[in-house]
Amino acid sequence: MRLGIDFGTTNSAVAFFDDDRLIAVQMSPGYENDDVLPSLIYIDREFNALSGMPAAEAYLERETGRPVRWQKKSLGILEMLVAGTGGSPILVHEEMFVMVDTAANGRLIQSIKTALRDPNYEGTYIFDRFYTLDQLIALVLGRLKQGAEAQFGKPCDEIILGRPVKFSDDPEIDARAEEILYKAARLAGFEKACFEREPVGVMYLYHISSAARQTGLIFDFGGGTLDLTIARLGGAKPPRILASRGVLVGGDDLDSRIMGALLKYFGQGTTVGGYPFPHDMLDLLRNWQTMPELSRPQHMGRINDFKRNSSNPSAVYALETLVTRNVGYKLFAEIERVKRALSASIIAKLDFRYGAIRIHEVITRVQFERMIETEVEKVRAGIYEVLAAAEMEPSALDVVLRTGGTSLVPVFINMLEEIFGAGKVQDVEPLVSVVGGLAVAAGTVANQYRESPYAIRYDKASRPVITNIRTAGGSVYEPYTLRIGETAYVNSQLVITRCPVMLSGLPAIRTAGADQDEQGDEFLRFDIQHPARIYVAYQSAARELPTWLQSFTPEALTIEIKGEWVEETYMQLYSKDFPAGTVTLGGCRANEHAPNFLNYIVIVRANP
């Protein structure tokens, strides 16, 4: 079966369309919105993962109210070569540490989609295990796949997967984000994944229900981004996109603005020794996920001092409770409730009590709209930018399709009606409109979609990337998919414990650990079908590189491996571009005086 999937910042959904029937998969039966899966992940100490509402319930039950206890933990010894006096390399050993909350029962991850915007975000440690970003996203996509297969009783292997109009203004960051999504879909078990911009999903849903040809604006405003698309749709002809724009504003930004108005309860306006309360500490409170940073020892020392020397000790005690008792998620849930209430009413009460925290606020819609003036202006500018790109005046549009949870905020409804006229603005079901349209696309025009160009980088049963592996010594090397948890060598228990997200999921060669002393410039050969960048991971502690590897470019990237009797070991990555055909690499050992502890690892990244 071919499905449509909307992987959202706040909620995700999956649906199927066939024979004029649109069927939503029930992902949260028994909850308020049974057709959506909240994009939440909770991973416990045994690395069991929950998603959706069970993840939220587990976090609230097991984490809220418990004390936070930070402890320094060693990640092992990092060995690296650095330039010494006179340019001679020096081997440096540096022990790496991380602070861990030893009282935590698990970790809750929310809004993981927004991490795709950050070119420096690789993933995160959850206890002592590193999860790459694609692994985290795959936990949500995999749960959607399981739900669909359980409901339909058959395999669901192909998807049209929604994505924002843009993850970033930088094309390289945008392409990186889409490729990580593709990796995640493959890891979740989908054999084929094609992409469509999320507002186009709404366009398809409206297109099949409109007999008349119209020009419309799709205003898709979710938790992470606002996507704007102008298209001709409806009637007998296929829909045609005229212009698209993405605005990096979402519902999460509005929540942060409300939290900004509550900072006075946690120290804002307080003086400490005659100086204003530190802004760097207050900024960490604008998102519940960054709040626990203030419970780290270096900040707790300041907080304890502020309790004695501030002009408002009760606010400091409230801050201490907030960051040491894991109640940030619960507070933001109340903020989200108030935001929704202000869509239906002109006034809402925000009452939150926990320990030393005593919040009582009456927030009016007018006050809220003042809080979000910056976001409102960004939205207005985005609308006029997409109109200019389509070379249209507002009067030229026949319909405005408003969808996404944040599109329910009255200031944005009023803005659309002011610009286009109240009669043109239509409300489309905010939680399932995107996935419904993606399902329509999957069921009606899927043959028009091709997998992204970088799909050639990843193995398929009918199209392996690496073939015909052979060694001069006769050792049997094998192809595999590079991921955390995979063994690094044949006949070895050493496993990969961390790798760059850029390389996660790529085809690799599992070499023989016993071949670490092989020499020469022609030892390993294999064939590739496309030009590719070959990465070789070589022990970072090595004092000298083999001659053949010296022509490769050192990368600012490492792979980490570990075994039962081997501490965390770092492998430095080197790269070189090769044409399609046979690739020849040499042996691992540089010379008779430079023995190696580990053989190298090979990864292939084909060029689209």
Reduced to 3 states, what is the DSSP secondary structure of residue 409?
coil
Structure confidence at residue 121 as a pLDDT band (50, 70, 90):
very high
Q: What's the DSSP call for residue 463?
A: B
State both tokens at 14. Answer: 């999956």
Residue 78, pLDDT > 60, answer: no
Which pLDDT score is estimated for 284? 94
Average pLDDT of the residues in 109-132: 92
Which pLDDT score is estimated for 84? 54
CB 492 within 8 A of CB 486: no
- Kindly report, residue by residue over 314-333, the tens digit of the pLDDT: 999 999 999 999 999 999 99
The region of weakest confidence among 237-246, 277-286, 496-505 is 237-246
The region of weakest confidence among 378-382, 466-470, 597-601 is 597-601
103 vs 348: CA distance, rounded Å: 36
The mean pLDDT value of the chain amounts to 90
492 vs 566: CA distance, rounded Å: 11
Angle at CA of residue 281, ends 277 and 284, nearest 5°: 145
CB 426 within 8 A of CB 402: yes
Phi/psi at 292 (5° precision): -60, -15
Angle at CA of residue 48, ends 47 and 52, nearest 5°: 125
State both tokens at 531. Answer: 């030009």
State both tokens at 212. Answer: 């008349």
Which pLDDT score is estimated for 360? 96
- Kindly report, residue by residue over 545-570, the tens digit of the pLDDT: 999 999 999 999 999 999 877 778 89
**Residues 6+ positions from 378 with CB-CB distance below 8 Å:** 247, 249
Residue 385, pLDDT > 60, answer: yes
Which pLDDT score is estimated for 428? 83
> Which among 440-444, 470-474, 523-527 has the top mean pLDDT?
523-527
407 vs 534: CA distance, rounded Å: 46
Reduced to 3 states, what is the DSSP secondary structure of residue 275?
strand
**Residues 6+ positions from 564 with CB-CB distance below 8 Å:** 493
State both tokens at 475. Answer: 């050792």
175 vs 489: CA distance, rounded Å: 31
Q: Which helix (H) or strand (E) holds 413?
A: helix 410-420
In whole angstroms, what separates CA 296 from the centre of its chain? 25
Which pLDDT score is estimated for 334? 96
Output the CA torsion 588→591→597→603 (10° steps). -20
Which pLDDT score is estimated for 79? 52
How many H helices and E strands in the chain?
Answer: 13, 33
Q: pTM here?
A: 0.87
Which pLDDT score is estimated for 82? 52
Residue 99, pLDDT > 70, answer: no
Q: Classify residue 242 by burial, with Cβ atoms within 10 Å: 0-12, 13-18, 19+.
A: middle
Phi/psi at 599 (5° precision): -75, 165
- Kindly report, residue by residue over 9-58, the tens digit of the pLDDT: 989 999 999 877 889 999 998 887 888 999 999 999 999 999 999 999 99
Reduced to 3 states, what is the DSSP secondary structure of residue 576?
strand
Which pLDDT score is estimated for 128? 86
Q: Helices in 240-351 by DSSP H: which ranges? A: 251-261, 279-283, 297-309, 313-324, 328-344
587 vs 599: CA distance, rounded Å: 9
Q: What's the DSSP call for residue 239?
A: P
Residue 280, pLDDT > 80, answer: yes
The topology (CATH level 3) of 2-209+431-455 is Nucleotidyltransferase; domain 5 (3.30.420)
Which pLDDT score is estimated for 492? 85
Which pLDDT score is estimated for 93? 55
Q: What's the DSSP call for residue 398?
A: S
Q: Which amino acid is at 143?
A: R
Domain range list for the chain: 2-209+431-455, 252-371, 456-606
State both tokens at 251. Answer: 């519902």
State both tokens at 299. Answer: 């900040």
Q: Give one DSSP letter per residue of 131-200, joined into a string.
A: EEHHHHHHHHHHHHHHHHHHHHSS---EEEEEE-S-S-SSHHHHHHHHHHHHHHHHHTT-SEEEEEEHHH
- Kindly report, residue by residue over 166-196, the tens digit of the pLDDT: 888 899 999 999 999 999 999 999 999 999 9
Percent of the chain with pLDDT over 70: 94
Which pLDDT score is estimated for 544? 87
Handedness of CA 534, 538, 540, 542 (dihedral sign): negative
Average pLDDT of the residues in 334-343: 95
Which pLDDT score is estimated for 316? 95
Q: Give the residue from 230, 159, 229, 163 showing the smallest Cα distance to 196.
A: 163
Mark 523-554 as b/e (b = at least 16 C-beta within 10 Å).
bbebebeeebbbbbbbbbbbeebbebbeebee
